[in-house]
Amino acid sequence: MRKVVYVPGYNWNEESSVLIRLLLQKDFKFYYFKFKNKFGQRKIETLAEELKTFIDNLNLKKGEKISIIAFSVGGLISEYYLKFIDNKQVDKIITICSPFKGTPWASIFFKKRIGMRELQERSIFLKKLNKEKMPRTIKQESIWDEEDFIVPHKLAKQGKAKRTLFFLHPLIEFWPPTILEIKKFLQSK
């Protein structure tokens, strides 16, 4: 059974992925990457290193590949991991409303925290992340929402981008059309 790692956003927990997990568990082995980071207290690079350790501990067979589903900041953690740390064990990544070009809220709330400064539009971190191309061996798709008030649509598009229609950032990953798009992407060749 194909393995999928779910990488959440800030302040999410395992229960936040329950609907995705329930709808995908028939077709995929689901792993939840758990990390401690209250609204940007730690650098995204540090969290990406922890993601590497997590994936390494899955004890994949030689040549076995996994897919990543990443929500919000989880998309930045995952992209940093794939672009700068290790990309040999992953063949697909799908992100949901990830702030690839920042979020205006990072300049307003918790702006002194390092992880939130990294999310500010035009931050050094985001410039570095977006300058580097995703390896060609990895299929990528991003799901964005025009009505998302946390990560407006122009800030969430990366790679092949698909639109979903739902306005509440924390609930977009529970929206059935979003989950169906994730499943379709993961099952694609």
Residue environment code for 57-76, b if the CB has 16+ CB neighbours within 10 A, otherwise e: eeeeeeeeebbbbbbbbbbb
Query: For the whole model, what pTM was predicted?
Result: 0.90
With vertex at residue 169, the alpha carbon angle to CA 111 and CA 106, rounded to the nearest 5 degrees, is 10
Distance CA 80, CA 143 (A): 18
Burial (CB count <10 Å: 0-12, 13-18, 19+), residue 87 = middle
Tens-binned pLDDT, residue by residue, of the chain (189 aa) = 889 999 998 866 666 666 677 777 888 898 999 887 666 778 999 999 999 999 999 989 999 999 999 999 999 999 999 999 999 999 999 999 899 998 887 777 767 787 888 989 899 999 999 999 999 999 999 988 877 767 777 777 777 777 777 767 777 777 788 888 999 999 998
